[in-house]
Chains A and B, each alone.
Chain A
Amino acid sequence: MKNLLELMGIEADRIHFSWISSAESTKFVKVVNEITAKVKALGPNQRFVKQAAKVA
């Protein structure tokens, strides 16, 4: 999945996968911190966002 998104020109750090057991709350916090930092560094998502108003 990630590879094809990258091929289309989405930045790699826009999609993350992880594996956390229900007992690993510390890992959860760690991963959230890491991902947030990475996405902050990337800046807002300009691509793949539908610009026109969506009719639901």
Chain B
Amino acid sequence: MSTYTEKIREISQRLLKECKVEMVIGFRQGTLPMMNEPCIVRKPEEVERLVWDSNCGINLANYLTNRKEKIGVVAKGCDSRNIVTHILENKIKREQLVIIGVPCQGMIDKRKIAAGVQGEILSVAEADGEVTVQTAAGAQTFKKAEVLQQNCSVCTHRNPVIHDEMVAEPVAEQTGVDPYADVAAIEAMSAEERWKFFEELLAPCIRCYACRNACPLCYCPTCFVDESKPQWVGKGQDPIDVRTFHFLRAYHCAGRCTDCGACERACPVGINMRLLTKKLNKDCLALYGWEAGLAEDKRPALDTYKANDPENFIH
């Protein structure tokens, strides 16, 4: 992993020195363990701030929206797919970007680590597929595969789909994983059970909109939840309003979501709202053979018409 950091710094320095880009967006060490933050570097001598490890789960495509500068951006598989989506939606131009591709082997779920140790986490280090967590009580080691974010453990697009530079050779993609097993489990329930399931799932939501803000797809100038004339959805914690919010948020991501997991990662109460977006991803794949952000020259499923589009839901 440290070779990734070296390589990212080296490429960033070169790009900045040669004035190929005005800034590089990457990650820097967070003030707390496992909380790496997005970081914008504008000067070649500042590249030492950039780092890379398995705590870079935030989606950097979110920081590109409507930018006018020439930007170098560090991108793992899911970020690169979101960058493609951004390009398709005219939120950034391909010519503006130098994409520094990072083959990704999954990001650590900090909640899984926190649940596994006692007391405050002082530092986290990783080597050879193992994660060592230092607490006041002592050190504890986890297998990285066991503490991955759920979306990373079923990810089938680990390598960037577009890139100008690569920091390492592509990693092997996972095969034999079923990304939609959890959605299928819910589909198998009765309407009654499903209603209850989501009631419990969404009950802790405090409507902080962290999931919306972390999402690279949510760039509307005024979000529907902030509109007051007309007011589409109440602002309180009424269960129906919460459900409406999550439903519409997921729906706005239909055919665009790359399951990067930024929403779930950002959620302060740990709601797995990805189940909703994933259901739409699953349907998009089944109905239109579409997965978001895989090619720059294909229009998204929901803005193309094909004569054989499914229409069995219409009377």
Cβ of B240 under 8 Å from chain A:
yes
Chain B interface extent, by class: 20 to 34
* Residues 182 to 220 of chain B near chain A (Cβ within 8 Å): 183, 186-187, 191-198
Q: How far is the CA of A56 from the CA of B231 in the complex (A)?
A: 8
Give the nearest-CB partner of B195 in chain A.
A9
| CB pair B313 A2 closer than 8 Å | yes
Name B251's contact: one of A1, A9, A10, A17 (CB within 8 Å): A1
When C-beta atoms are compared, the residue in chain A nearest to B287 turns out to be A3
By beta carbon, the residue of chain A nearest B278 is A7
Q: Is B61 in the interface zone, CB < 8 Å from A?
A: no
CB neighbours (8 Å) of A9 from chain B are 191-198
CB neighbours (8 Å) of B250 from chain A are 4
Main secondary structure of the interface of B (DSSP, over half): helix
Residue of B nearest to A18 (CB): B315
In the complex, which of the residues B183, B191, B197, B198 has the most CB atoms of chain A within 10 Å of its own CB atom?
B191
Contact call A18/B314, Cβ cutoff below 8 A = yes
| Nearest CB of A to B149, in Å | 22
Residue A23 CB within 8 A of the other chain: no
Chain B, 281-315, CB within 8 A of any chain A CB: 283, 313-315
- A50 lies within 8 A of B240 (CB): yes
A29 within 8 A of partner (CB): no
B195 and A50 within 8 A (CB)? no
Q: Is the CB of B191 within 8 A of A16?
A: no
Known A-B contacts A4-B279, A11-B191; the reply to A48 vs B240 at CB < 8 A is: yes
Nearest residue in B to A48 (C-beta to C-beta)? B240
The answer to the question of B247 belonging to the interface, with a C-beta cut-off of 8 Å to chain A, is yes
Tell whether, in the assembled complex, residue A7 and residue B279 are in contact, meaning their CB atoms are under 8 Å apart.
yes
Query: Does B58 make an interface contact (CB < 8 A)?
Result: no
CB <8 Å contact, A3 and B240:
no
**Would B313 and A17 count as touching, CB distance under 8 A?**
yes
CB distance from B150 to the nearest CB of A (A): 18
